[in-house]
Amino acid sequence: MRWLLLVLFLPNTCLCLFSQSVISGRVTENENEAIEFALVTLKQVSDSDFVLTPDAISLQEVIVKGRKTGVFFDKDTIRYDISSFKDGSEVVLGDLLNKLPGIEVDEKGSVKAHGKQVDKLLLNGQDFFQGNAQMATKNLSANIAESIEILNNYSEYSILSGFQNHEKTVINVGVNKNKLGKISGNLSAGGGMKNKYEFRGDLMQLSSTWMTSIIGAANNNGNEIFSIEDYISLQGGVTEFIGNQEQQSSITLSEEEQKLLVPRNNVYERNSGLAGMNFSYQPKKSFKINSYLLYNDNKEFAKERNQFIYFLPEQRQYETSNNLNINNKNKLFSGFVKMNYQPSSLWDIVYKGQFSTTGIFENTDATNWLKEQQIHAAGYTSSTSIGTKQNIAVMKSFNKHLLISEVSFLYDDKPFSYEMQSDSLLLPIPFIRYDDYYYGKQDTKQKNTVINANFSFFYKLNESYFLRTGLGFSMTEQAFCSGIYQMNQMKKTSLLPDENLKNDYSLHKNDYNFNLNLGKKNK
């Protein structure tokens, strides 16, 4: 057995000794330089040295392809090569903007850039639409654009550089040079069942010194043409010059303006029309003028059908119901002009003038059933208000410091008339019986005058902070008159002999203010 184990052990020992042998060698080129990372297979002992001769081989051409992103960054400016994003399906400017990375246009035409609300939309650097970007995105043809850029920390007035602590973002549309000196535009129209129609068109002509455009739209399919955002933009929106977020002006809509701008939920038919004209002229760098005229017409036909069931404690119940038909005709005419004159780099003078008139006309026909009694009433409401706002500002730079003087004048006149006839006295205002009907009329007149004068001095402390001091004066006058009258054979007389239902008052108020605050400029 021992011999058998020895025989089995010896071959294994030899195999292990052989596997631990070391074989070395060099692979060199013809100049005796070692070749790195060479792979060698040894077949026999005579093959233990190698000399390789180099041989040059030409590889085929290698082509590296890259794709342009179409987006370029330069400090506060982002530029787009719109040819990288257009596919020919764009109709209006908003369609094109919506395809650019970082830009969003909602269904109302409002624009955001990288999550920030766009304050203005410029054409060749001009505020052609006075901050109302929706008018441009919804009405201008997409092929008007040759380039598009986002401008952050934008200021229309170079004299304000270093004194703005509210970051403004605007989009500048470079106009296609082929459009200069030519009349261009876009027209679309459509129709459908039940006599539905929609029309939209625009015409524009541009040159190196002036621009003018005409836009128009009309439909009866309920699509919104002129929104509450459009109206607020036309009213001035927020503080223009410094743009301090803490001092943004608020806008309160009157009852008449709400009827004009806030659509009813129960409207079954709406006819809308819009016409506008814009004009911009800049013969030289130091002077420019912008203006617009806008007309908006809106007709609504609404119905309400309500039924109520009342449960009484005696386990009895009764029903009431009412039918209401409403016919509204609302109109808005607005105009704006802005002139900017900069005689030198240290002076800037700005004038803004705005006027508007609104017309609200409403016919109401109501039928109510209260238990066994039927009440019928027909009413008519009318209001035609006018308003104007004038503003002039003078800005003077003292190199590091700045002085702004601003004076504004605001006036509005808002008459309101409410007239109704009914076969019952169960109505909200007193009536006089005439034949088989009750008649009543209420008239209201309201006038407001506001004069403001503000002076602000900005003292630059360092590259980041400035000190602002301000002195202001405001004068307000209000006059209000309201009365309820009867209509008696074409004569308007007071409902009561002592005229207790007539109300007159006036208000005069002067306010003075002084402020001091620390501001930090945009970087």
For residues 246-284, b (16+ Cβ closer than 10 Å) or e, as one string? eeeeeeeebebbebbbebeeeeeebbbbbebbbbbbbee
Q: Give the confidence band of 17 by pLDDT, cuts at 50, 70, 90.
A: very low
Per-residue confidence (pLDDT) for residue 418, from 0 to 100: 83
Least confident of 386-395, 405-414, 419-428, 436-445: 419-428
Least confident of 230-244, 259-273, 278-292, 336-350: 230-244
Per-residue confidence (pLDDT) for residue 6, from 0 to 100: 39
Q: Pick the more confident residue, 45 or 238.
A: 45
Q: Pick the more confident residue, 124 or 229.
A: 124
CB-count exposure of residue 387 (10 Å: 0-12, 13-18, 19+): middle
For 301, the enclosing helix (H) or strand (E) is strand 287-311
Nearest C-alpha neighbor of 166 from the set 176, 153, 151, 175:
153
Alpha carbon 488 to chain centroid, angstroms:
51
Does this model's pTM top 0.85? no
Q: Give the confidence band of 485 by pLDDT, cuts at 50, 70, 90.
A: low
Asked whether the predicted pLDDT for residue 500 surpasses 70, the reply is: no
Task: Count Cα atoms within 13 angstroms, Cβ side, for 432.
Answer: 16
The Cα–Cα gap between 338 and 352 comes to 4
Per-residue confidence (pLDDT) for residue 395, from 0 to 100: 92
207-221: average pLDDT: 86
Per-residue confidence (pLDDT) for residue 491, from 0 to 100: 52
Please list the residues that pair with 479 across neighbouring strands. Answer: 447, 506
Instruction: State the average pLDDT for the chain.
Output: 78
Asked whether the predicted pLDDT for residue 411 surpasses 60, the reply is: yes
Neighbours of 201 (CB within 10 A): 16
Q: Pick the more confident residue, 16 or 137.
A: 137
User: pLDDT tens digits for 257-272?
Assistant: 676 666 667 778 889 8
Per-residue confidence (pLDDT) for residue 10, from 0 to 100: 41
Per-residue confidence (pLDDT) for residue 509, from 0 to 100: 92
The Cα–Cα gap between 398 and 51 comes to 84
Per-residue confidence (pLDDT) for residue 124, from 0 to 100: 82
Cβ 376 vs Cβ 421: under 8 Å: no
Nearest C-alpha neighbor of 466 from the set 402, 518, 400, 397:
518
Cβ 253 vs Cβ 174: under 8 Å: no
User: pLDDT tens digits for 342-395?
Assistant: 998 889 999 999 888 988 899 999 888 876 678 888 888 998 899 999 999 999
Cβ 351 vs Cβ 385: under 8 Å: no
Alpha carbon 21 to chain centroid, angstroms:
84
User: pLDDT tens digits for 56-76?
Assistant: 777 778 777 766 678 888 888
DSSP-assigned states of every residue in 460-503: E-SSSEEEEEEEEEEEEEEEEEEEEEEEETTEEEESSTT-TTEE
Asked whether the predicted pLDDT for residue 80 surpasses 70, the reply is: yes
User: pLDDT tens digits for 307-334?
Assistant: 888 787 776 777 888 888 989 898 888 8
Cβ 86 vs Cβ 96: under 8 Å: yes
Q: Pick the more confident residue, 52 or 211.
A: 211
Per-residue confidence (pLDDT) for residue 477, from 0 to 100: 94
Asked whether the predicted pLDDT for residue 276 surpasses 50, the reply is: yes
DSSP-assigned states of every residue in 51-85: EE-----PPPP--------SEEEETTEEEE-GGGT
Q: Give the confidence band of 239 by pLDDT, cuts at 50, 70, 90.
A: very low
CB-count exposure of residue 3 (10 Å: 0-12, 13-18, 19+): exposed
Q: Pick the more confident residue, 17 or 66.
A: 66
Q: Give the confidence band of 486 by pLDDT, cuts at 50, 70, 90.
A: low
